[in-house]
Amino acid sequence: MARFKFAAMNAKGAETEGVLDAASQSEAVSMIRAKGLFPTRVVELTTGTQKTSAHREPVAPSKSSKGLKKELKLPAFLVGRVKTKHLMVLTRQLATLIEAGMPLLRGLRILLQQEKNPTLREALNGMGEAVEGGSTFSEALAMYPKVFDNLFVNMIKAGEAGGVLDKVLNRLAEFMEKAEHIKRKIKGAMVYPTVVLFVATGILVFLLTKIIPQFAEIFKDLLGGAQLPPLTQFVIDVSNILRYKGVYVLGTVGALVVIFKLVRRTKRGRFALDYLKLKAPLIGVLTVKTAVGRFARTLGTLMQSGVPVLQALNIVRDTSGNEVVTRAIQGIHDSVKEGDSMTMPMEAAKVFPSMVVSMVDVGEETGALPEMLMRIADNYEDEVDSAVEGLTSVIEPIMIVFLALIVGTIVIAMFVPLISIITKM
């Protein structure tokens, strides 16, 4: 038995180091992978020639490790995550090349030549070397967890096992295209209210800091210290707070943002905030439909690609993006693991609409669950489009009325004393 020093990354890209005993370097690599880690460097702590794992490339000897002749290391600079649209184009192009009968390695080299994104170039280069060295495509993808998530890697692994890599790549591209379409719709719907809110805030601050103080001086001179109407006094007080204690106001807002982020990091806080999202007026319905569509699309795509249902549920759980939905999926996973159906925990979670539960029940009975999930996804994605359009049409008048009320309140507060002054004259 030999001792090996290793460096590895977890699924989130965090690096960890350790030492283990193994008969060979390949066995050490297998042991590291069994822990759910992605080995980036495996070095034998004995003198002599080091064996190379299939997906590593030799680098200069380590200065800190004596007695080592060679060290194998994954490229160290993983420059953040790649935008979905770039990854979507890459996936679609690779699927086209493989469908045309081109070998995987040659396809990776061709994509490397035309790729301009530095992160994807680094990944393509490393994956090409890994595949050339004997690694599977899924193993090469797993070397870059910041670029290719668990969903991507597991679907490719299933495609390799079933010999349908081109079909799986096309499904992945379609999945990303639909997810990106929904994201663009929601972002587009939020542009108008965000702009209106920004303009309303700017107008409000301008009125309170520049105009209201001038009126306050006029009232002070003309009324001779007489009592102002409550609404007028309230507006002037708010103006004084912004003018003389604006730093404290900004500090309070900043503190609230920090508290919100800290609460969001806790499990209970995240669950409470996500629950409020699902129950909130107007946006709650949209959030539910988006979550259900994403759940159905992801699970259906994974199952169609040959990923086992329990593994698929784990992946869907980790990519749900909502703690309430995550817990619901965990309940479904536990039920299926015990040999029960998916419908009982889905109904008990009170997250999935009854129609979705019924369709999943029919899919399980007929053995066509993946196809039924894809139908659910199509239906709910169409409903998301309609909900976004409806939300936009509702938000526009609400924001206009909101802005009119604020400005109108300030105008009325300033003119009531003026009317009183004119009447006395």
* Domain ranges across the chain: 2-72, 84-175, 176-296+320-328+349-425
- pLDDT, averaged across the chain: 80
pLDDT score at 257: 92
| Cα dihedral value 411, 414, 420, 425, nearest 10 | -110
pLDDT at 51: 39
pLDDT value for 52: 38
Rounded CA-CA distance 344/253 in Å is: 44
pLDDT over threshold 90, residue 259 = yes
User: Regarding predicted confidence, which is higher, 50 or 258?
Assistant: 258
Per-residue pLDDT at 229 exceeds 60: yes
Do 420 and 221 touch, CB atoms closer than 8 A?
Answer: no
> Model-level pTM?
0.64
CB 61: neighbour CB atoms within 10 A? Answer: 15
Locate 339 and state its tokens.
């040999």
* 62: confidence class by pLDDT, cuts 50, 70, 90: very low
CB neighbourhood size of 362 (10 A): 13
The residue behind tokens 């009126």 is 215
Domain 84-175: top CATH class: mainly alpha
Using CB atoms within 10 Å of the CB of residue 420, give its burial: 0 to 12 exposed, 13 to 18 middle, 19+ buried.
middle
